[in-house]
Amino acid sequence: MTDTTNTDEQPEQEPAQPKVRELPLVALRETVIFPEMIVPLQVGRDKSVQALNKAVADSSPIALVTQRQADVEDISDPSELYSVGTLAKIAQVVQLQDGTVRAIVQGQQRVRLLEFVESEPFILARIETVEEQPASGLEVQALVRSVQGQIEQYVQSGAPVPPEAAVAARNITEPGLLADMVAYSPDMSTEQRQELLETIDVHERLKLVSSFLARQVEILKQGQYQPMPVENQVCVIYAATNGYLDEVAVDHVRRWERGFHETLAAKHQGVLDRIRTEGKLSDELTADLVSAIKGYNASFAAEHEGARAGATV
């Protein structure tokens, strides 16, 4: 059981070479699967059902890749999908009476979509595995500890995640897996999850989730100190989970939020009223909210640039 090999004298291992293979592919709508993630999938489109059945029949894994536009029904070209997805093992498949399939899949490894070999009767894709290089060093260790602490803060601040998430994070020592764990947060949008999946460099991935967690903690803290109406909370949460706060520095988030509420009250009270009365974000209401956010972000950025320029002079 004891390994007596002197690893200090071993030459550095060559990075594993990407492996190209052809596999059935399922296009995902507003869902991003990560390595090690175990997820139930409800599959209804005929191409996807046939792809799953083919993988099961061949005892092979399946490629899971998210589509760029969720409302596209028939995927016929690789450009309609993101370029990075996940190789997954099919743990269980249940054929339902209505023709749909319920499957449980476990992500295994990031893959890059190269091309479609066939698009009928299901998508057969040529994919390339993405080899993740081990991350080490003092800065990575510091980022791991920082992200673990931020997850704990996130949970304690009232995030919609189980309390056990903080304990689980403390027990994860592999940096890439820790970063991927943040994708479980319901506050993260599909686009943010996809960006995380496409960030192959583990160091950069840790920095990305650290920035996300810092913003979310600031938003949750603000809600604790200054309770706000539900309609205002909806607006802030929408902005945060759809990337409209990504360019705002963490130490400016509270100022952004205060100004945003003032702008909504002064210029977009109708949006707040409709959110309160309708109780949901229709397409039209969402478009109005996005317009309000973009307009405010432009003025906030200009104001911040002006203040910074004034400080420099």
Residue pLDDT, tens place only, 276-297: 888 788 889 999 999 999 999 8
Residue indicated by tokens 């967690």: 213
4 has pLDDT over 60: no
What is the reported pLDDT for 15?
Answer: 54
What is the reported pLDDT for 139?
Answer: 86
Mean pLDDT of the residues in the chain:
85
Flag whether 215 is in a domain. Answer: yes
Which residue has better confidence, 83 or 262?
83
Flag whether 5 is in a domain. Answer: no
Last residue of a domain, one of 129, 144, 179: 129
- d(C-alpha 278, C-alpha 152), whole Å: 35
Q: Are residues 124 and 153 in the same domain?
A: no
Q: Are residues 173 and 190 in the same domain?
A: yes
Q: Given pLDDT bands bounded at 50, 70 and 90, which one contains residue 14? A: low
Q: Which domain holds residue 295?
A: 228-313
Question: Is the torsion defined by CA of 207, 208, 211, 214 positive or negative?
Answer: negative
Flag whether 279 is in a domain. Answer: yes
269-291 burial code (b ≥16 CB/10 A, e <16): eebbebbeeeeebeeeeeebbee
Helices (H) and strands (E) in the chain, counts: 10, 6
Residue indicated by tokens 């203040």: 307
Residue indicated by tokens 């309390």: 163
Q: Are residues 182 and 151 in the same domain?
A: yes
What is the reported pLDDT for 223?
Answer: 57
User: What does the pLDDT look like over 140-183, one tens digit per residue?
Assistant: 889 999 999 999 988 888 888 888 888 888 899 899 999 999 99
Flag whether 13 is in a domain. Answer: no
**Overall number of domains in the chain:** 3
What is the reported pLDDT for 311?
Answer: 34
* pTM of the entire predicted model: 0.70
Q: Are residues 123 and 28 in the same domain?
A: yes
What is the reported pLDDT for 186?
Answer: 85
Flag whether 39 is in a domain. Answer: yes
Mean pLDDT confidence for 103-121: 95
Flag whether 12 is in a domain. Answer: no
Q: Are residues 99 and 189 in the same domain?
A: no
Q: Are residues 178 and 237 in the same domain?
A: no
Please report, for the domain that includes residue 286, its CATH number.
Answer: 1.20.150.20
Last residue of a domain, one of 129, 155, 175: 129
